[in-house]
Structure 1
Amino acid sequence: MTNLTIRLRQAMQPWRTAPAWRIAFSGGLDSSVLLHLLADWAEHEELPPLSAIHVHHGLQPAADAWPEHCAQVCARLDIPLDIVRAQVAPGASLEQAARRARYAAFAERLGPGEILLGAQHRDDQAETLLFRLLRGAGVRGLAAMPGSRSLGCGTLLRPLLGCSRAELHAYAQNRGLAWVEDPSNADERFSRNFLRRQVMPLLAERWPQLAASLSRSAGHLGEAQQLLEELAEMDLLAARGVCALPWLPLPSLDVSAVAALSDARQRNLLRHWLALLSRMPDSDHWAGWYDLRDAAADATPIWKLADGELRRAEGRLWWLSGEWLRPPQPLDLPCGALGEPVELPGNGCVHLAGELPRARWHLRYRRGGESLLLPGRGHRDLKRLLNEWRVPAFVRPRLPLLFDGGELVAVANLTQAPGMAASGVRLHWSPPIGDRGLSW
């Protein structure tokens, strides 16, 4: 049994009870070695069901032959293969766009608890650390590739991170493996290729243990990132506080609790909180957070990020995305009984609990100047009532209002006129939830 085999089995031992192991199989050297190692293991021991996934981007003519190569390899090893044709969205970085398309395809095909096995190795880890260092990454980025992380409904696992490219190449040659070569790997216009072909060999001449040392540093930085995340979780627990509007399903934090932390802990907390909601800003863009935090109490500052925006209202930070970034369509909906939820274009859905008596019922949004009769208080201006209830300004134009002719009789989720309350009728609004964040 080779050292490569031993290290693979040690890395995979905690995952032996997973429902399935699926190999990200490009047909290249690294994934070919991983596929053969697992196939050989499966011949001698009972493992979770093995299968492979090949993502075909179609970005270059040479790639058209790779699915057939992968199919032949998997057929010889009796391993099922799923060939996925992915569309790469246009963008500034072709590498990044292809990676996003690839991992999106993997995530869609992973069942609950299943493991996707990637063949990245120690040299890849070293290159990733150096590449991100040159781009000015922080601790999270410099931790490079984690050994495992969640992906879709399952887990992405990289069991060969402790192995060198030379070890994989020697194994492939000894076993007589055939693999495909990606012509784009020789194109030094891509930064990763330039590092791999020009910079890393030069550094390794002076520091022969370069890849091992950089990989070890990535491990230390990974531990540091874990500590930062644990600190962020502690701060997040205190900063969530209690929202006065439990029916509003938006991520939010208590501004004063966040502002009480040091600037470094504020940034650490917000990076952690926003990680699943948006791509993070670079260092210069954090000025938007300080402007938001330090604005006057009566101001309505906005911090725009890649996938949404943060607003401050009623003492809290609110994350808005998706439909919340677009004004709702005008509403003037005649209605009788709304026992079943009714979709409001771009604004969630609404329904009535109870039965309305005969009248001229209409659902509308605010137009200004509305007032509502309240028990023991007479008519009160709706604007002042919304201030009392601490409804954020960005919610107010979306609140469904129920009118009897021209008279306001109910504000969804908040209150209704005495006659409505006595009848047991309640107007319920389920607001839009926004985008559910990043999946990988």
Structure 2
Amino acid sequence: MSRSNIDLPARLLLNLASWRNAATWRIAFSGGLDSTVLLHLLATLSKTEYLPTLNAIHVHHGLQAVADTWPEHCRAVCAVLGVPLQVVRVQVQPGASLERAARDARYHAFTEALQANEVLLTAQHRDDQAETLLFRLLRGAGVRGLSGMPRQRPLGKGHLLRPMLDVTRAELEAYASAHDLSWIEDPSNQDRQYSRNYLRHQVLPVLIQRWPQAVATMARSATHLNEAQGLLEELADMDLREASSASEFAWLGLRSLELAPLAHLSDARQRNALSHWLEPLTRLPDTDHWSGWEDLRDATGDACPVWRLADGELHRAGGRIWWLSGHWLRPLPGAGVWLDPASPLAIPGNGVLSLTGQIPDGPLHIRYREGGEVMALPGRGHRDLKRLLNESAVPSFVRGRLPLLYKDGQLLAVANLKGLDGGALGDWHLHWQPLNEDQGLS
């Protein structure tokens, strides 16, 4: 028997079967038709089935005056069903797309609410999937975008599930009618200036009139494309493994890849591998913007090319590509005096310094490279710091952030660099622990 022939409660249980050992199921409850049906289904099933703890979460965007009454409606519904409700008020950031800004605010709230071993259930259905496919097709999306909304994905400390992607809007309406449910009608859902509403009210009805199975076939196409995306991700994993050699500068805590294995791939495989690698780090570039990757890849060996993306930058140095974001892209504050060298020194915006071994007498000062620095080395005399950094193959983007240790105006040590970190001058070493990338994310 196909899933479409099973009644709605049984189908929902089947779709959630592998998640019944979660600690909590949190239902994203807007108060609209779709989430009202999902909440009612789960609350009813919980009376006869052993389910995880149910909680509902309502995100209040405050974008229209009428929405101020919605939290109370949601509280009333949840009270009747015996499901605890959490109301989260968010601030929607202004931008070119109000739809996207509201979605970002909503999912940020969901991410903050989810704890380990918890699941967020959302009520998107098959008609939503068809709209998503058509919307993204018109925006020129690739396989990743056209694969539609995934049935499940990690979200924060837990997971996001969409257990009703095989359910039609008509089925939800029939269920709501049969159980005499009441729900919120969002006036903005009728506003044709929003692209999704235009597709829903103006375009899809015409397509369905000509092709009655249009929604089902588009949703099926999204399933096929999702499978294709899975194969592309497997290929990307294979290619990235080839480029994931260890770097001698692993202590930087930065994500990096070896360039040569990537450069030997076809252009399409390069874009596929890099998209897979960049996807959790930044919004992916559009087709035209990929020329930035080609410029970075093909730059001459002595160049220091940079590819600027939405949420960070890709740098090339030492035969590798490096992802920089957050504090790595912010200017450093001025250096200062190290009053107690026996204790670690927190450097504003740049991690922590420490000394091990026989700590040199003070006073000690921390500075950053400005150019023209000279360092005295036993047996080598005075050497330009620039040349010493070249010999150590220090990536260009690191050089301006490397802490330099001074005493009485003399450069004593360069943090973390063997032979320059103090060891050549005495039985001590200067260690630098940069801020990790997560601490640096904006």
TM-score, normalised via structure 2 length: 0.95
Gaps of 5+ in 2: none
Structure 1 residue 214 and structure 2 residue 218: aligned? yes
Change (3 A) 1:339 1:208: farther
Contact kept? 2:327, 2:440, Cα under 8 Å: no
Structure 1: gaps of 5 or more residues = none
**Structure-2 residue corresponding to 1:348:** 351
Distance 1:419 1:6 in 2: 69
- Partner residue, 2:374: 371
Distance 1:126 1:291 in 2: 37
Per the alignment, residue 260 of structure 2 pairs with 256
1:313-328 equivalences under 5 Å are 313-328=317-332
- Aligned AA for 1:140? R
Q: Compute the displacement of 1:45 (Å).
A: 1.6
Corresponding residue number in structure 1 for 2:383: 380
Alignment partner of 1:404 is 2:415: no
Write the mapping of 1:66-105 to structure 2, written as runs, cut at 5 A.
66-105=70-109
- Aligned mates of 1:20, 1:268 — CA distance in 2: 36
Report 1 or 2 for greater relative contact order, CA contacts < 8 Å, sequence distance ≥ 6: 1
Deviation at 1:266, TM superposition (A): 0.4
> Which residue in 2 is equivalent to 1:425?
428
- Return the offset for 1:313: 1.1
SS in 2 for 1:221: helix
Which residue of structure 2 aligns with residue 171 of structure 1? 175
1:3 aligned partner:
7
Note the C-alpha offset of 1:133: 0.3
Counterpart in the other structure of 1:245: 249
Counterpart of 1:276 in structure 2 is 280
Deviation per residue, 1:368-418 (Å, 9 max, x gap) = 233334454443322111111110111111111112212222110113569
2:25 matched to 1:21? yes
Is 1:56–2:60 an aligned residue pair?
yes
CA 1:34 to 1:347, structure 2 compared with 1: closer, same or farther past 3 Å?
Answer: same
CA contact (8 A) 1:339 1:354 kept: no
Shift of 1:347: 1.7
* Contact 1:409 1:420 (8 Å CA) reproduced: no
Q: Secondary structure at the match of 1:362?
A: strand
- The 1:224–1:436 alpha-carbon spacing in structure 2 relative to 1, beyond 3 Å, is farther
User: Secondary structure at the residue paired with 1:427?
Assistant: strand
SS of the equivalent of 2:413 reads strand
Cα distance, 1:337 vs structure 2: 3.7
Shift of the 18–87 alpha-carbon distance from structure 1 to 2, 3 Å rule, reads same
Q: Deviations over 1:45-102 (max 9, x none)?
A: 2211001000000101111111001000100111000001011000000000000000
Tell me, yes or no, if the aligned pair for 2:375 and 2:384 is still in contact at 8 Å: yes
SS of equivalent residue, structure 1 residue 415: coil
Partner of 2:305: 301
Q: Distance in 2 between matches of 1:380 and 1:423?
A: 18
Query: Cα RMSD (Å) of the superposition?
Result: 1.9
Match status 1:191 vs 2:195? yes
Cα distance in 1, alignment partners of residues 160 and 362 from structure 2: 59
1:1-30 per-position Cα deviation (integer Å, ceiling 9, x unaligned)? 961112101001000100110100000000
Asked if the contact 2:326–2:440 (Cα under 8 Å) also holds between the matched residues in 1, the reply is no
Which residue matches 1:65? 69
Q: Deviations over 1:122-156 (max 9, x none)?
A: 00000000000001000000001000001100000
1:201 aligned residue (193, 198, 205)? 205
Deviation at 1:363, TM superposition (A): 1.5
How many angstroms does 1:421 deviate by?
5.1
> 1:299 aligns to what SS in structure 2?
coil
Letter in 2 for 1:397: G
* 2:393 aligned to which of 390, 395, 413: 390
1:308–1:321 contact (8 Å) kept in structure 2:
yes
Distance 1:20 1:357 in 2: 56
CA distance in 2, matches of 1:388, 1:144: 50
Match of residue 413 from structure 1: 416
Q: Sort the Cα spacing of 1:179 and 1:2 in 2 relative to 1 into closer, same or farther, 3 A.
A: farther
Q: In the TM superposition, what whole-angstrom CA distance separates every residue of 1:99-118 from its partner, at most 9, and x where no partner exists?
A: 00000001100010100000
Q: Which residue of 2 aligns with 1:236?
A: 240
Is the contact made by 1:278 and 1:437 (CA closer than 8 Å) also made in structure 2?
no
SS of aligned partner of 2:412 = strand
Contact persistence 2:254–2:323 (CA under 8 A): yes
Question: Is 2:140 aligned against 1:142?
Answer: no
Letter of the structure 1 residue corresponding to residue 202 of structure 2 = Q
Q: CA deviation at 1:206?
A: 1.1
Deviation readout 1:245-279 (Å, 9 max, x if unpaired): 12111111111111111100100011011101110
The aligned residue for residue 38 of structure 2 is: 34
* Structure 2 residue corresponding to 1:155, chosen from 153, 156, 159: 159
Per-residue deviation, 1:345: 2.2
Q: Write the letter of the residue equivalent to 1:205.
A: Q
CA distance in 1, matches of 2:221, 2:50: 36
Counterpart code for 1:31? S
